[in-house]
Amino acid sequence: MKKALPYAAVGGAALLLSTALTSGTAAAEEEEHCIANMDTGEQTCFATLDAAISAAEEETEPSGPTTLSAQAQNDVIQGTFFTERGYGGDSLTIWGEAPCVKDGWVDYEFNLTGDFSGWANRISSAQPWADCWIWLYPEPDLGGSRDGPYKENTTYVGDFMNNRTVSIGFS
Amino acid sequence: MRKRWTIPAAMIAASLMTGLFPAPAHADHEDTPTSRQLLEACDNGTDACVFHPDGRPEYFAGPADQVGRAVYNCTGREQRFEVSWSDTTTETNSVGVSMGVEYGYAEVFRATFKATYGHEWSSSHTESQTTYVFTGPYEVGWVERAPRMEQVSGTYELRFPDRYYGHYIWYVPFEATGPAPGGEGAIAQQTRPMTQTERNECP
């Protein structure tokens, strides 16, 4: 059984989440489960369960709640996105510096362009984390007619934005 | 990082009053709560407790175990026996906590499971049948059942109004296994020759 983690240990936690993403589903070999840093755009993917578990263990074992590094103290998981309904298929978990603030603004935006273009027009289900509401947009930089907010785990984003998301807002 | 309005201005004041933004955790803490402690705090001291499923349920056959009594054919002819049996399959989880209805984390799990997968989570299922067992001369027969199971994993996200063991947010990995709906499971009859000791006990 793995340790419970505070959000300050998100580096390990995100990897842990990715591990869990594969562990319960007998993921097909071609499935891919990635984590992405909101601020740096760094993406790490796991093609197999064994690889994900190994990576997660490497990341989480040395840290844990008692040995947190200062720069990681604000990071949280903000959202997970799936390429199939019901949280199936590939997944992308985005983590960033802090929970969302309910102040009427989009606090964070994430473009599925460049290194993340492989995720564009593929999202079918989504899970908001860290008190974030999720908005899905059909164009980069929060462009086009959006749908949302998705305030809770959402097994299907709906016909309007299914397989059309190119950028994501977190509010 | 660009900011954009998400709601009409009239709604903003109310939102600003909620003060949801947590301060970062600044201190390392020697004490770490157990997963059980954290789950017991779910909806019992948290601002929010959310279970995030990490995929679809996995369905598989549980271990095959003997159900009912063994039957002994002490004759020189094939015999058919009726074996009545009842077998109960119960849930388990990775944290080893009870999933009783009185616990907030259990309710969160059940509600999320139903909303996600469209059927109720089953904590326990009892299957009762009568199975015919055919045995050859001087054979022992019995019935085995492998229940059909479903397994779901995910992560609890617990957000606290104040630091709990030094942090506002905790993640708890969780995996639950229980009887799958509508599954009598795989039922098979087995036979083997009697041992000499067993033959000696025949009338």
Write down the pLDDT at residue A62.
28
pLDDT of residue B82: 96
- By the 8 A CB rule, do B114 and B98 touch? no
The pLDDT value given to residue B100 = 81
Do residues B172 and B155 make contact, with C-beta atoms less than 8 angstroms apart?
yes
Determine, yes or no, domain membership for B108. yes
Instruction: Answer whether residue B3 is part of any domain.
Output: no
Q: Which range among A98-112, B1-15, B145-159 shows the weakest confidence by mean pLDDT?
A: B1-15
Tell me the three state secondary structure of residue A16. Answer: helix
pLDDT band at B74 (very low <50, low <70, confident <90, very high): very high
Contact B26, A133 (CB under 8 A): no
pLDDT, residue A74, reads 55
Give the model's confidence band at B24: pLDDT under 50 very low, under 70 low, under 90 confident, else very high.
Answer: very low
Name the domain count of chain B: 1
Task: Please check whether residue A27 is in contact with residue A8, taking contact to mean a CB–CB distance below 8 angstroms.
Answer: no
More confident residue, B199 or A12: B199
Tell me the CATH number at A164: 2.60.20.10
* Residue A1 domain flag: no
CA-based nearest residue in chain B for residue A128: B52
**Domains: count for chain A:** 1
Give a yes or no: residue B13 inside a domain.
no
Note down the domain range covering B53. Answer: 31-200
> Is this prediction's ipTM beyond 0.95?
no
Terminal C-alpha separation, chain A: 33
Do B7 and A104 count as a contact with CB atoms less than 8 A apart?
yes
Tokens of A164: 């059309």
What residues make up the domain containing A69? Answer: 7-170
Residue A47 confidence (pLDDT): 63
Backbone φ, ψ for residue A155 (5° rounding): -75, -20
At residue A156, the pLDDT reads: 96
pLDDT value at B14 more than 50: no
Could you tell me the pLDDT band of residue B125, with boundaries at 50, 70 and 90?
A: very high
Residues of chain A with pLDDT under 70: 1-29, 47-74
- If you average pLDDT over residues B147-161, what whole number do you get? 93
Q: What is the pLDDT averaged over residues B102-111?
A: 93
CA-CA-CA-CA torsion for B126, B131, B136, B139, nearest 10 degrees?
20
The share of chain B scoring above pLDDT 70, in percent, equals: 85
Backbone angles phi and psi of B63, in degrees to 5: -65, 140
Q: With contacts defined as CB-CB under 8 Å, which chain A residues touch B52?
A: 17, 80, 127, 129, 153
Which residue do the tokens 């419970």 mark? A4
B19 falls within a domain: no
* Strand boundaries in chain A, DSSP class E: 5-6, 33-37, 43-46, 76-84, 88-96, 108-111, 125-128, 134-137, 147-150, 167-170
Q: How confident is the model at residue B39 (pLDDT cuts 50, 70, 90)?
A: very high
Average pLDDT, chain B: 84
pLDDT tops 60 at residue B27: no
Q: What is the CATH number of the domain that holds B117?
A: 2.170.15
**A15 domain residue, yes or no:** yes
Task: Indicate the residue of A5, A106, A142 with minimum beta-carbon distance to B171.
Answer: A5
Nearest-Cα distance to chain A for B35, in Å, is: 6
Is position A140 within any domain?
yes
In chain B, which residues have their Cβ closer than 8 Å to the Cβ of A100?
Answer: 20
Averaged pLDDT, B137-165: 94
d(CA B185, nearest CA chain A) in Å: 20
Q: Is residue A2 part of a domain?
A: no
In-domain check, residue B188: yes
